[in-house]
Structure 1
Amino acid sequence: MRLLEGQVALVTGAGGGIGRGIALRFAEQGAAAVALHCRTSVEAAEEVASRVRESGARAVVLQADLADEDACRELVREASAWGGGLTALVNNAGVQPVRPLPGMTAGEWREVVDTNLTSVFACTQAAAEVMAGGSVTHIASVEAHAPAAGHAHYCASKAAVVMHARSAALEYGPRGIRVNSVSPGLIDREGLAEDWPDGVGRWRDKAPLGRLGSPRDIGDACVFLASPLASWLTGQDLVVDGGMSARPTW
């Protein structure tokens, strides 16, 4: 038996990168159906949907702007109606603009917080109303634990995502809903080494496992958290960073 046999999942931000890796691993591990959310990258999401179907799962692409609370709730309702229920939600959609804190506007702050945090609140709340037990996993970041220059809005939103998972675990536990978060380290993508050679080089030099992460690594973490293997695990943040956070900072 595969770990997610028969599950119905919704993955937000599934058009590429980490979301793609999560959706594919869910399908490969036996999910019966995977709803793939995207905001604008419909073509990329359809390509992921095609690969999900090749793994034997049903797939549908649903568009929504998750900065809109009502759109979040409608997305969950659509996914649940299409799938005949919902057993797993992965809140992966997010943005990561670079903007120095001095001079950052309230509008720029809200754009990141609404997309990265308010969407998590709204999607989770909506999912809990249609789930008869199940799991919710938020994709946070190692920057929830250690800040980076130019990312004050992003770091704050991801730290709040981690705490939201703990709070939701406390309040939704009596309904049989487990809520956890995953904090990825630096995840590889096409062109990253060319775009940021210094950062990639420093990560590889210092990471105990000597490499960047892959979308599959994060997908595996999400599969575990949604599976029966994690049936007594809730309110936790799983840091998936190749051991980087184990390094001393002094």
Structure 2
Amino acid sequence: MFTSLAGRSVVVTGGSKGIGRGIATVFARAGARVLVTGRDEAALEAACAELGAGASYVVTDVSSREDCDRMAATAVERHGGIDVLCANAGIFPAARLDAMTAADLRTVMATNLDGTVFAVQACLEALTTSGRGRIVVTSSITGPYTGYPGWSHYGASKAAQLGFVRTAALELAPRGITINAVLPGNVATEGLDGLGADYLAAMAASVPQKRLGSVADIGNAALFFATEEAGYITGQSLVVDGGQVLPESLQALEEI
């Protein structure tokens, strides 16, 4: 039995939809007080209505250090501190190399990489004061393990997050803060709506478990990293993909 996280103060960036909303839901069900952030206020309101009385939101663009500072201050004001930061906010627009602009590259890096660093920096003082600070970064198998045409800038940002996590773990260890990353594979979110049953079936067929992951699968991994029992784990990456990165060829999938 893991130590209860009831009453812990948790910040989830990009928590209004998709994986972030799944992470926020798992922590809310564990009794945590959750502050979700995002850029769409209507989506944040809807998420908090579903999460319950212990949840609230603040509109935040993580690519802005000032917004991240305001986010951290809001969590401290409402919850008395910050115990867990889930740096989840990310974007994944497609752009092939022969068409990618400098603005395309900068936009992805500003949210996915800069936003992760800014969120950690903004919450650092409160996480240190907590005495049990936990940071969980949402990376991806795309970049660190796999590639996909049109997502070279996204993959680069996700691989860069892992480099940040490893060195940040060294700097944060004396403060009693752990930082780890969760790497989702193909996960069913509202972002896949409209792609059609055939497309979703093809995605599921690439996974040995023959299903897409759920947002709860990712939320449960983040919850584990936030527990007291995971306190001796830092600077690590956990792939949550149903075995998607394991087959060496399509034939390997056909053999199972």
- Give the superposition deviation at 1:21: 0.7
Cα deviation per residue 1:184-203 (whole Å; 9 max; x = unaligned)? 01111247364155543233
Aligned mates of 1:26, 1:139 — CA distance in 2: 15
- Give the superposition deviation at 1:93: 0.8
- Give the superposition deviation at 1:163: 1.4
1:16 maps onto 2:12 in alignment: no
Cα deviation per residue 1:71-98 (whole Å; 9 max; x = unaligned)? 1222112222221000000011111000
1:138 maps onto 2:176 in alignment: no
- Give the superposition deviation at 1:70: 1.7
2:50 counterpart residue number: 51
Kept in 2: contact 1:91–1:139 (CA 8 A): yes
1:107 counterpart residue number: 103
Cα deviation per residue 1:165-194 (whole Å; 9 max; x = unaligned)? 111111101100000011101111247364
1:174 counterpart residue number: 174
Aligned mates of 2:233, 2:192 — CA distance in 1: 34
Aligned mates of 2:69, 2:242 — CA distance in 1: 35
2:69 counterpart residue number: 73
Aligned mates of 2:68, 2:235 — CA distance in 1: 22
Cα deviation per residue 1:201-246 (whole Å; 9 max; x = unaligned)? 2332231211001111111111111111211111011110011112
Number of residue pairs matched by the alignment: 245
Aligned mates of 1:197, 1:232 — CA distance in 2: 42
Kept in 1: contact 2:23–2:220 (CA 8 A): yes
Kept in 2: contact 1:144–1:162 (CA 8 A): no
Aligned mates of 2:90, 2:191 — CA distance in 1: 20
Kept in 1: contact 2:65–2:122 (CA 8 A): no
Cα deviation per residue 1:127-160 (whole Å; 9 max; x = unaligned)? 1122223100110011032121100110000101
Aligned mates of 1:222, 1:200 — CA distance in 2: 25
1:241 counterpart residue number: 241
1:10 aligned partner, one-letter code: V
Kept in 1: contact 2:3–2:228 (CA 8 A): no
Query: Where do 5+ consecutive residues of structure 1 fail to align?
Result: none
2:253 counterpart residue number: none
2:149 counterpart residue number: 149
Which contiguous aligned blocks of 4+ residues in structure 1 show a shift greater than 3 angstroms? 196-199
Aligned mates of 2:34, 2:181 — CA distance in 1: 19
1:7 counterpart residue number: 8
Partner-residue secondary structure (3-state), 1:142: coil
1:117 counterpart residue number: 113
Aligned mates of 2:86, 2:232 — CA distance in 1: 18
Aligned mates of 1:160, 1:191 — CA distance in 2: 23
Aligned mates of 2:160, 2:208 — CA distance in 1: 27
Shift of the 142–35 alpha-carbon distance from structure 1 to 2, 3 Å rule, reads same
Cα deviation per residue 1:47-78 (whole Å; 9 max; x = unaligned)? 2212322xxx5221100122212212221122
Aligned mates of 1:107, 1:95 — CA distance in 2: 14
1:61 maps onto 2:72 in alignment: no
Q: Percent identity?
A: 38
TM-score (norm 1): 0.92
Shift of the 194–38 alpha-carbon distance from structure 1 to 2, 3 Å rule, reads closer
Shift of the 191–22 alpha-carbon distance from structure 1 to 2, 3 Å rule, reads closer
Partner-residue secondary structure (3-state), 1:212: coil
1:26 maps onto 2:27 in alignment: yes
Kept in 2: contact 1:179–1:235 (CA 8 A): yes
Tell me how large the CA RMSD over aligned residues is.
1.8
Aligned mates of 1:11, 1:158 — CA distance in 2: 18
Which is worse superposed, 143-152 or 107-116? 143-152
